[in-house]
Structure 1
Amino acid sequence: MGTDDKFDAKADQVKGKVKEGVGDATDDQGLENEGKADQAKGTLKESAEKVKDIFKKS
């Protein structure tokens, strides 16, 4: 897939990490959980892009 999709996946991971850190620092469990969810979403997108790349090379 495109570079934009890979960038979006990394952006979700970074955004999630920041949210998790802010949530932890401010003792906001909801924000911390939201950050973890964003990271998982980014990781899932990244994995999907890797699979697509493998099939494109075949």
Structure 2
Amino acid sequence: MSKWAGIKTKEVRSQLNDEQILPSVDEARIWIDKNMTVRLDRLFQEQANAFETRMA
């Protein structure tokens, strides 16, 4: 990451959170799945409400 950003590794580490508290890949995927499902459900409901309003 430091090579892509053009800064030293120590600087990158100082900007990132403690790597010990980062979730595992599987935990992150589960969290994303849950949040994405909630967000998509909300968007679907908003679109359904907008459609009903236009059709009324």
TM-score by structure 1 length? 0.48
Structure with higher helix content: 1
TM-score by structure 2 length? 0.50
Ranked by relative contact order (alpha carbons within 8 Å, sequence separation 6 or more), the top structure is 1
